[in-house]
Structure 1
């Protein structure tokens, strides 16, 4: 089904609640074959929805979103021949096809196989719930609109990796299926090189270090990731290396090198060791976590937040082997203006109190 990936995201975002909106919208409809033996509805759907997990389908069913013959059923309901199964969600069904949009791109490098772009903070990378237009993928679709071989709706081309909406920096896009396959293998095998610059709260105790801890969705806040012990069996393994670049007493500028690439990895790992990213609202960095109690200091921090109104994180370097030539390709991008101004403001402040 063309919309399975979006449906999977919709299922993932279902809240555990005893109440639903009165209005539900059909997203999937399937009719059970006449020869079907009795089978749990969650297993039946799981076998037919390639991009979804059985756990998410169970959650949808137990929240009242899976209907059989127009009535909600639990995940242990046994399907029968000719049952009509529908997935009913509390949001309208969207057309998930990628539309070309004329959005400016900062292209660092391009050839017949790949494009490397420097994404600004605030630009969503890929369409999803709440952001169906105005994304980097829409911009790429417009930029390559006259290239017959590039279909923005073909998962065999396009984005190879992602960064968060409010993180700036470098991304590589594959223009051909062969390029995406080969680049994807490099990311999977951890042979790419990616480093980030981050301003974090606190004065780091060591000049460098290694953070290891599994990353999974926070059970208390589904929009946030959290860290679990490596041997916990929860989440995916993640390793971040960091090195201090510059100290400002109450905050530290660090370089982070990813050994793995998990969702919110740097943000979650830094919070885990007690150094949330500066102005990272999701992970507690938008509060005054270090420093003085004076009114002037509080005003200084508020001015810093206004200067860089997002988590202070920039994907500064990107390195990979070119999928066609086999040549090592390395790219570096300067810090964006908001982070440069933020760091300079801290330099000036520290000089003034020393």
Structure 2
């Protein structure tokens, strides 16, 4: 007979009652697990046979815990709360019965997840669009067909019915290879790429945790194709040797991987200004700027990345729709400071 405790893997927790252990089993576990589960939830788990002491099943929540007891518990998979509508302001660029286009501000998480169960774009869309979003794309991602990082600003589109969701999702999966989908970003980077225009073709994969990414060899198990086209559009504090202390770069995606632009620009030696993950080692570059500009740069605490252009085919009419959003105030202030900057004396 299969032993569920042996098969539980990471969902199986083993505790050893210390010498001061006393009281009911449900109360002891509620305290020992640091409030992760309520006492009532633990009482139910005990009654369901999910707890055993010294190898024997225990189904009485009031069973006394004794010093030295070896307690095993099968923890249930966490249940993700269903997002609710929240009255969060949206900068709506366009809306009809099939879709909504918004300019997402920096700091807004797209969909609920660990540490961000409320206050997301999804919560705002549910409030704004009502029941039309229900179930489209999954409970936690209703209407969402693509995403931007929390601290990246710019244009996004969301679907308002199943047909629109399928059509838009297919376009993003195709990356514009056979249709009008186009995504363009503005980024402020350290230095200036040697080639003013180029293509970065470097596969990406996980870099040790759930979200961070790194360039990988193509033969790596988790490597996924990633291609970014870039063009330098402005150069800041140009040097006599033709280099610059910073630059504005336009990036266009041929693929859409997590953190793609951020990783690719760092890979060629020009990470985004303010990027805490991939550009932290370059923060001292600000010391090469005059004091006033240095203060503006040091106060900029997010990656300087803005999705300024999004084009796609309307899922119902077939019309090519194109939307732009100007640089947000913080990035405009950063660019303005850099335009007037000079090298530190």
TM-score (norm 2): 0.72
Counterparts in 2 of 1:158 and 1:320: CA distance versus 1, 3 Å: same
Counterparts in 2 of 1:70 and 1:88: CA distance versus 1, 3 Å: farther
Alignment check: 8 A CA contact 2:293 2:337 kept: no
Q: What is residue 303 of structure 1 aligned with on the other side?
A: 296
Q: What is residue 105 of structure 2 aligned with on the other side?
A: 120
Match of 2:322 among 315, 323, 330: 330
- Per-residue CA deviation, residues 283-339 of structure 1 (Å, 9 max, x unaligned), is 12474353655xx74663243231x32110000100110000011111111101111
- Per-residue CA deviation, residues 81-136 of structure 1 (Å, 9 max, x unaligned), is xxx994457xxx46521111000000001111010000000111111100010011
Please list, as runs of the form range in 1=range in 2, the aligned pairs for 1:229-308 lying within 5 A after superposition.
229-248=217-236, 249-285=244-280, 287-290=282-285, 297=290, 300-306=293-299, 308=300
Q: What is residue 85 of structure 2 aligned with on the other side?
A: 100
Q: What is residue 41 of structure 1 aligned with on the other side?
A: none
3-state SS of the aligned residue for 2:212? strand
Counterparts in 2 of 1:329 and 1:23: CA distance versus 1, 3 Å: same
Within 1, Cα distance between the matches of 2:52 and 2:246?
A: 57
Within 1, Cα distance between the matches of 2:154 and 2:284?
A: 26
- Per-residue CA deviation, residues 132-160 of structure 1 (Å, 9 max, x unaligned), is 10011000011012xx4331676285111
Please list, as runs of the form range in 1=range in 2, the aligned pairs for 1:9-20 lying within 5 A after superposition.
none
Q: What is residue 33 of structure 2 aligned with on the other side?
A: 23
Within 2, Cα distance between the matches of 1:184 and 1:323?
A: 10
Match of 2:133 among 150, 172, 176: 150
Alignment check: 8 A CA contact 1:317 1:333 kept: yes
Within 1, Cα distance between the matches of 2:191 and 2:79?
A: 44
Match of 2:182 among 186, 193, 198: 193
Within 2, Cα distance between the matches of 1:70 and 1:197?
A: 57
Counterparts in 2 of 1:188 and 1:162: CA distance versus 1, 3 Å: same
Greater Rg by CA: 2
CA RMSD after TM alignment: 3.4
Within 1, Cα distance between the matches of 2:87 and 2:286?
A: 44
Q: What is residue 228 of structure 1 aligned with on the other side?
A: 216
Counterparts in 2 of 1:152 and 1:341: CA distance versus 1, 3 Å: farther
Alignment check: 8 A CA contact 2:94 2:100 kept: yes
Structure 1 moving runs of 4+ over 6 Å? 26-29
Counterparts in 2 of 1:164 and 1:257: CA distance versus 1, 3 Å: same
Within 2, Cα distance between the matches of 1:238 and 1:142?
A: 35
Please report how far the alpha carbon of residue 214 of structure 1 lies from its aligned counterpart in structure 2 after TM superposition: 1.7
Match of 1:316 among 304, 308, 312: 308
Within 2, Cα distance between the matches of 1:263 and 1:251?
A: 24
TM-score (norm 1): 0.71
Structure 1, gaps ≥5 residues long: 1-10, 30-66, 72-83
Match of 1:210 among 179, 199, 218: 199
Alignment check: 8 A CA contact 2:204 2:215 kept: yes
Alignment check: 8 A CA contact 1:169 1:315 kept: yes
Alignment check: 8 A CA contact 1:201 1:251 kept: yes
Q: What is residue 180 of structure 1 aligned with on the other side?
A: 165
Please report how far the alpha carbon of residue 22 of structure 1 lies from its aligned counterpart in structure 2 after TM superposition: 4.4
Aligned length: 282
Alignment check: 8 A CA contact 2:293 2:338 kept: no
Structure 2, gaps ≥5 residues long: 1-8, 16-30, 43-48, 54-71, 237-243
- Per-residue CA deviation, residues 185-213 of structure 1 (Å, 9 max, x unaligned), is 11111122100000011121011111112
